[in-house]
Amino acid sequence: MTVVVAVTCNDGTVVMGGDSFCGDEDLVNVCRADKVYLVGPVGVGICGSVRSEQLLDRVLREHIPEKKEISEEWLRNDFTDFLHDAMKEHGSMHDREGTHEMRDSHYIIVFDGVTYYLETDFSLWESRRPLAAIGIGRKIAYGAMGAMLSTLGGELPDVEFAENMVRTALAVSAEWSPWVVPPFTVITVPPNAE
């Protein structure tokens, strides 16, 4: 019950934004912690179980500083294995038909100009589209971002336009969804330098 969005720019930068909703169907509260943030060169967008979010943050902060180089291969294999093990150890997953799944959580992971979805089964995949969104407000956010992107005639936005897209998508989502609330946090995740 939130919204987190990301837009890929023409220079490989990814702009991410998130709201501050915390609560359920009966109560709206405002979360103090940002739902989008950086850990080294990795951008993170979080949505779902607070405990799972805390474990994801712990795994990233424990393993990224010790790595000399972060790579797509490391994210897809070692990182997701570390996360799986931490969630299993700390009771933040459940068995579903013989497979392990995170409890009610979805994430956006950004690294080196690529936006990945981290799914509940610990799979990491990327879309060919330059827009990403998670949370209950994602459909509204996709509509707002898609409309703005269509004005560019098939080109990717620059960072300034992407920041405007993200802020607009968050504001429109908050206008139409009772589970999306300000304040909003917007960050940029630059591509890695060669």
pLDDT band for 193, please (50, 70, 90 cuts).
low
In a domain, 168, yes or no: yes
In a domain, 18, yes or no: yes
Residue 27: give the domain boundaries. Answer: 4-189
In a domain, 194, yes or no: no
In a domain, 175, yes or no: yes
pLDDT digits (tens, 9 = 90+) for 116-155: 999 988 889 999 999 999 999 999 999 999 999 999 999 9
Which positions ≥6 away from 33 have C-beta within 8 Å? none
pLDDT digits (tens, 9 = 90+) for 93-122: 777 776 778 777 889 999 999 999 999 888
CATH number of residue 149's parent domain? 3.60.20.10
How many separate domains does the chain show? 1
What integer pLDDT is reported at residue 112 of this predicted model? 93
In a domain, 73, yes or no: yes
The mean pLDDT value for 34-59 works out to 91
- What pTM was computed for the model? 0.92
Nearest to 129 by CA among 116, 120, 119, 138: 116
What integer pLDDT is reported at residue 127 of this predicted model? 92
